Structure 1
Amino acid sequence: MKLTQKEIAELKREQTELETKRSELKEKCKNHRDMSVEDLNGVTENLRTVSERLDIIGEQLKDADVPEKRDVFNMIKDINGKEITAENYRSSAKYRDAFYRSFLNNKVAEADAEIMSFGKRAITDVNGGAVTSGGEYLVPQTTLNNVYYVIKQYGKLYSSITKYGFTGDVALPIGTAGTPTDNADGTTSLNFTFTEVKISQMAVVATIEVKNVLLRNSIPAFEQYLSNEIGKYIGILLENYVLSGSLSTSTFEGIITALKTAPSAAKTYSTMDWQQIANICAEVESPYGDNATWVMKRSTFFKKFFALTDAAGKPLVTVAPVQGQPGQDNFGAASPYLIAGQPVIFTSQMPDTDSILYGDLTTFVVNESGSFVIESNTSEKFSADKTVWRGKIYSGGKSLFAKDTFTYWSYEEA
């Protein structure tokens, strides 16, 4: 049986995973005294199934024809002469160029077929049954890096929240500390409760029209242009979803939307001064207030906060960029400003004039698929010699206990 290099690598990976699983199942069988008869039968059946699959894989690998060793002239190489393999192909310029040429020609050229085979998705449903991607090939690593770089620039708030990478929709058990119980013997018992938080994903899509001459001109330049435009729009969309959610679906529950839900916890202010800042800080208890971030438009910060002083006449705003604060990274995405010692993140997506969000951004949880997708449609703008390009990322999230972890204030004239 003839197997490709990629198929052999995939079988070996599966073999390793199954051998680990078989060892775990055997260990369970050794400790069968702690198991019911029904559970023991289930483990035994799983062990049998795993062993049978391992036998099949062993036979396939044993009987597989070893691919002929290609001479140095037939190896797929990158520009530095290094051989491109199933492990490193995605970072190569050769794969990148072949990926975009396939869009230009609406097919994979014969000369590109071998390296493109490395990136062909085994399945096109990248979201565990919830959303179908339609992307046949994995996006080049250089494109991914560029897109996420731009998303961080335009989605500073989104960059600082908590993100997981589970496949598809998930239900996460989230623990919170309750009121301690004082015991008669003088000790105190800590109480924890767990809430199951369900997070669904949706496709966050950016669509742009591009003249075909751009792709024909220079693939590296086109890749940079496409990454910038797609990353910009997706970053802004995600920022808006974190704050205000998605009205058409329940996959994003925005922080501000949750705070305004009846009974509303939203508040108003007419004057911003030292006392008002103290009032805002006092609304969020520890530990969330200790880890809080100020979120507002840049214009709000400079109009309402920048010139403020405390009761002793000292500036409330300091310029002290500290690595590790929410939103700060090597991409320069963070504001360097601190209000009363806590960081500020600027976003253009605040829904109300001069509104302010304050709280613990890590309590907004997102489940984001790791499979970014790029697609194209040449038929829609065929007469104009344009291609419609679409970038998609699958994400969804919600604020955990928003009214305990955040406070929201909008400006109202006195």
Structure 2
Amino acid sequence: MTKDFRWFDPTELVFGPGKLNTLHTLEMPGKKALLVISDGKSARANGSLARTEEQLRMAGVEVVLFDRVGPNPEKPVVEAGARLARAQGCDMVVALGGGSVMDAAKVMAAFAVMPGDDLWDYAPGATGRRKPLDIPSLPTIMITTSAGTGSEVDSWGVITNPKTREKVGIGRVRHMFPVYAIVDPELMVTVPPKFTAYQGFDALFHNMEGYISNAANFMGDMIQESAIEKIGAYLERAVKDGSDLEARANVAYANTMGGYSMIITGTTSEHGMEHAMSAYHTALPHGAGLIMISLEYFRYFIQKHVCDERFVRMARALGRRDAEKPEELLDALADLQRACGVDDLKMSDYGITPEELPKFVQNAKTVMAPQFTKDRYPMTDEDCEEIYRRSFR
């Protein structure tokens, strides 16, 4: 573990049940907001859209609605949102939704002020042109309705280019941090059980990957250990009873800590490997893809004995209080997946075939190369493909 770390997160976090109702009391960073939601029905059906619009109006903010963001936000949609913000003269962006909505909104806010009409001018990856996002972004407010990505407190967004099959993080610049993050567990009670599980495991893996990365540090350990314990204790309850507000609040906390974990240590190659899967199969929920490869992924590093004591501590945090061997982390993880009803997920159910696995390897190691540098043991192409193959069903 390195003792050195850098920490910067200027986002004001407003956490707790009912906190959406306080939005109008905050000092608004603009007067006209692009309000970004998903292309589904939930925000309208559960009333959160109407409530947010009313809160913004009470704060004196005019609203322009953009409702086209899908589960894996795509380049053309983000570009369309940025064009709408420009055309309507929006001076701020508000996201109401899960990680995809928040990621899309942050990138829309950054791209809206930049010259040109091609987002990939500012993207990394194999085909991105990597121009700097050197004009301050429109200020943003994130209102998260799910507990998975931690996107409400970080400074980038993961966007998919459907033409090039690249799923990359765009941003990581200071002016893309949200002004406010509203984390209200009451907004999460209507999330269906399977998506509660997918999102909860995404939050778990943000923290687990940071904990075993080669950037692990004092502050990261504090954040990650706390979050892993919360997921181990409360995710099953949140899945089985969405109205359990105590469970929702604890999982929401772990989710936000996962956002902080990504800032201070980052994620490892597990996330890069999943991004390749859902870049080619966009109907695959990110959390589901992570679950599919997780056991074989962590088994690989356990067998390399890169940090045995950390795997033991994670097993204890997930409920195996007497764990003494790193392999017990796999047992604890499998138990939690069974308890949450996600132990039988299959790649083949989303159209993935064994023949595709080699191209996933090349995509992951090219597009998401920085995440592989966080691994404590260098993963070869053959190792990466073997993890996919062992995980395939």
TM superposition score normalised by structure 1: 0.26
Q: Which has the larger radius of gyration?
A: 1
Structure having the larger proportion of residues in helix: 2
Structure having the larger proportion of residues in strand: 1
Higher relative contact order (CA 8 A, sep 6+): 1
TM superposition score normalised by structure 2: 0.27
